[in-house]
């Protein structure tokens, strides 16, 4: 998911709509914006579909006045996956004795089921299937006097990955979980402030990047300034390495490092680890493009656009059902026959999950007359599901969970298949020493080492 908030600028909701549009790659199912203005109090709009199809209407935007606003774009990883109900669309909103509070969450709580059960036993009435709603009920039960204090109470009780933006009638609040699994950055816009999942959304509104919210940090922002708190026990940070591989936009900067440059460097590592004789290096667009550029530069094999992407399609993976995903690949990608015919082609993609994309592409590229097809993948084999906010499927659907590299090569029907090593991936992030005994990132979907216990799935015996 993507989250964005602004305080201290007129017509804040318009900035939020722009910010969410720049974060659309993080979630395409639905979006919502909440604003606050003295004359109207809180206003909110939640819609299915793209930001540009909803939050550009003047009639709608006129209902979201004020200089304080925040929003969310949704990609379902919890609750009713793929059949989002409008009541699951964030920001969620609640009235407490001390005033209203809106909340938007990127990530996934790993103890939400147990927590929800406990809260329902104690009398809470849930209105959505979203794990985020637990935070609201925990806040309702807190005995603290202010909303930020109640929020600290609530967030100390949940486990998992959370970057959260919340707002009261006067404050914008940002929090990251103790390990900082999901991103959250602070920007300066005019005389006000912005919070955003990624820096690319600061660029779109002309905001200046100030700094990242630290893992385990809570910031409370008013037009007058920022207060910072560290409400959790200190922990070693474990940012999601897959944000670098796929999830974030290449024009974002994370941890002082360009996402594009990291992806290009993964391609360089791949070319060193798994060289091959070929005529062309082609990306599977757009997710494989920077790594293909790096592979081409390092190997000296010419780069070409052998597969053309229809720019009017969204991300295929994020379309939740298998039927849509299967069709999606062909609606989205087509082979550029003229340049592929008779060639030995290296295809570079960011990841293999179910193998659907790779299989379709291999078919298309052989149909187009390619002489050889070599897959190079800019991440290690995805063998484990993510419980922290990326919708990797159950383990049995992950190709790498039950096949060796050679079995996957045969299954995909290609001449060779190589994944970058976990070491190479860490080097590409700028960590010269590779992956150390105490790694800097979460890499659980590749290593199976979960830095946060996935309590709900472990306790219910669902983690195979």
- Is residue 349 close enough to count as binding ligand 5GP by CB under 6 A? yes
In the set 350, 380, 420, 455, which binds ligand 5GP (CB under 6 A)?
Answer: 350
Task: Please state the residue numbers annotated as binding site for [4Fe-4S] cluster.
Answer: 240, 386, 442, 445
Part of the chain binding ligand SF4 (CB under 6 A), chosen from 48-56, 72-80, 237-245, 316-324: 237-245
Query: Rounded distance, CA 74 to CA 71, Å?
Result: 10
Cβ–Cβ < 8 Å for 231, 164: no
Least distance in angstroms from the C-beta of 176 to ligand 5GP: 20
- Phi, psi dihedral angles at 149 (to 5 degrees): -65, -40
Q: How far is CA 63 from CA 11, 40, 89, in A?
A: 11, 9, 18
x/- contact string, 233-272, with Mg ion (CB under 5 A)? ----------------------------------------
Least distance in angstroms from the C-beta of 357 to ligand 5GP: 3
Least distance in angstroms from the C-beta of 442 to ligand SF4: 3
- Name the binder of 88 from ligand SF4, Mg ion, ligand 5GP, none, CB < 5-8 A by kind: none
Q: Could you tell me which residues are beta bridge partners of residue 3?
A: 72
In the set 3, 318, 364, 442, which binds ligand SF4 (CB under 6 A)?
Answer: 442
- Is residue 287 close enough to count as binding Mg ion by CB under 5 A? yes
Cβ–Cβ < 8 Å for 84, 76: yes
Among the residues of 101-236, which ranges form H helices?
112-121, 133-141, 147-157, 200-204
Cis peptide before 275 (omega within 30 of 0): no
Cβ–Cβ < 8 Å for 2, 30: no
Instruction: Give me the active site residues, please.
Output: 1
Select 181 or 201, whichever has its Cβ closest to ligand SF4. 181
Select 34 or 78, whichever has its Cβ closest to ligand 5GP. 78
Among the residues of 23-108, which ranges form H helices?
51-54, 58-61
3-state secondary structure of 430: coil
In the set 78, 443, 455, 456, which binds ligand SF4 (CB under 6 A)?
Answer: 443
- Is residue 124 close enough to count as binding ligand 5GP by CB under 6 A? no
- Is residue 184 close enough to count as binding ligand SF4 by CB under 6 A? no
Select 284 or 307, whichever has its Cβ closest to ligand 5GP. 284
Cβ–Cβ < 8 Å for 191, 223: yes
Cβ–Cβ < 8 Å for 71, 32: yes
Select 43 or 447, whichever has its Cβ closest to ligand SF4. 447
Least distance in angstroms from the C-beta of 419 to ligand SF4: 14
In the set 163, 197, 392, 429, which binds ligand 5GP (CB under 6 A)?
Answer: 392
Cβ–Cβ < 8 Å for 178, 162: no
Q: How far is CA 292 from CA 70, 261, 265, 300, 311, in A?
A: 36, 12, 10, 11, 19
Size of the site for ligand SF4 (CB under 6 A): 11
The encoded tokens of residue 307 equal 């597969």
- The span from the first CA to the last CA of the chain, in angstroms, equals 26
Rg, C-alpha atoms of the chain: 22
Q: How far is CA 309 from CA 26, 284, 286, 334, in A?
A: 19, 9, 8, 6
Size of the site for ligand 5GP (CB under 6 A): 20
Least distance in angstroms from the C-beta of 49 to ligand 5GP: 18
- Is residue 390 close enough to count as binding ligand SF4 by CB under 6 A? yes
Size of the site for Mg ion (CB under 5 A): 1
- Is residue 158 close enough to count as binding ligand 5GP by CB under 6 A? no
Cβ–Cβ < 8 Å for 74, 30: yes
Residue 24: enclosing H or E segment and its boundaries? none
Select 350 or 456, whichever has its Cβ closest to ligand 5GP. 350
- Is residue 445 close enough to count as binding ligand SF4 by CB under 6 A? yes
Least distance in angstroms from the C-beta of 355 to ligand SF4: 18
* Half-sphere exposure for 269 (CA within 13 Å, toward CB): 27
- Name the binder of 190 from ligand SF4, ligand 5GP, Mg ion, none, CB < 5-8 A by kind: none
- Is residue 181 close enough to count as binding ligand SF4 by CB under 6 A? yes
Least distance in angstroms from the C-beta of 153 to Mg ion: 41
Query: Rounded distance, CA 457 to CA 110, Å?
Result: 8
Q: Which residues bind ligand 5GP (CB under 6 A)?
A: 246, 284, 287, 315, 317-318, 349-358, 382, 390-392
Q: Which residues bind ligand SF4 (CB under 6 A)?
A: 181, 240-242, 386, 388, 390, 442-445
């Amino acid at each position: 998911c993507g989250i964005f908030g602004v305080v201290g600028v007129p017509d804040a909701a318009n900035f939020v709509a722009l910010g969410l549009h720049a974060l659309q790659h993080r979630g395409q199912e639905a979006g919502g914006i909440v604003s606050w203005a003295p004359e109207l109090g809180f206003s909110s709009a939640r819609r299915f579909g793209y930001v540009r199809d909803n939050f550009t209407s003047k009639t709608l935007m006129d209902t979201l006045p004020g200089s304080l606003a925040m929003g969310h774009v949704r990609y379902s990883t919890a609750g009713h996956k793929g059949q989002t109900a409008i009541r699951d669309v964030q920001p969620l909103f609640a009235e407490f004795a001390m005033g209203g509070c809106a909340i938007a969450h990127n990530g996934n709580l790993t103890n939400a089921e147990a927590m929800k059960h406990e809260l329902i036993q104690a009398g809470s009435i849930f209105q959505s299937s979203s794990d985020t709603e637990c935070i609201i009920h925990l806040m309702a039960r807190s005995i603290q006097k202010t909303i930020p204090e109640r929020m600290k109470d609530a967030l100390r009780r949940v486990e998992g990955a959370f970057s959260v933006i919340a707002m009261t009638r006067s404050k914008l609040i940002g929090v990251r979980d103790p390990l900082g699994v999901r991103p959250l950055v602070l920007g300066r816009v005019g005389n006000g402030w912005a919070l955003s999942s990624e820096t690319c959304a600061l660029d779109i509104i002309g905001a200046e990047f100030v700094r990242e919210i630290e893992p385990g940090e809570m910031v409370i922002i008013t037009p007058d300034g920022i207060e910072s708190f560290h409400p959790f026990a200190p922990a070693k940070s474990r940012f999601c390495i897959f944000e670098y591989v796929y999830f974030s936009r290449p024009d974002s900067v994370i941890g002082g490092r360009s996402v594009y440059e990291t992806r290009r460097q993964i391609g360089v590592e791949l070319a060193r680890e798994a060289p091959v004789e070929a005529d062309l290096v082609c990306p599977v667009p757009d997710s494989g493009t920077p790594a293909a550029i790096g592979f081409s530069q390092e190997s000296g094999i010419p780069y070409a656009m052998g597969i053309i992407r229809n720019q009017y399609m969204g991300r295929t993976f994020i379309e939740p059902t298998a039927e849509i995903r299967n069709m999606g690949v062909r609606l989205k990608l087509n082979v550029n026959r003229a340049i592929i015919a008779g060639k030995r082609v290296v295809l570079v993609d960011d990841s293999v999950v179910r193998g659907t994309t790779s299989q379709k592409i291999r078919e298309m590229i052989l149909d187009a007359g390619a002489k050889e097809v070599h897959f190079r993948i800019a991440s290690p084999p995805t063998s484990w599901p993510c419980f922290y906010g990326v919708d990797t499927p159950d383990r049995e659907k992950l190709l790498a969970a039950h096949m060796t590299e050679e079995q996957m090569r045969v299954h995909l029907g290609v001449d060779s298949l190589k994944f970058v090593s976990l070491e190479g991936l860490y080097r590409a992030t700028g960590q010269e020493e590779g992956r150390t005994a105490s790694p800097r990132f979460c890499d659980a979907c590749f290593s199976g080492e979960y830095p946060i216990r996935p309590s709900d799935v472990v306790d219910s015996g669902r983690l195979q």
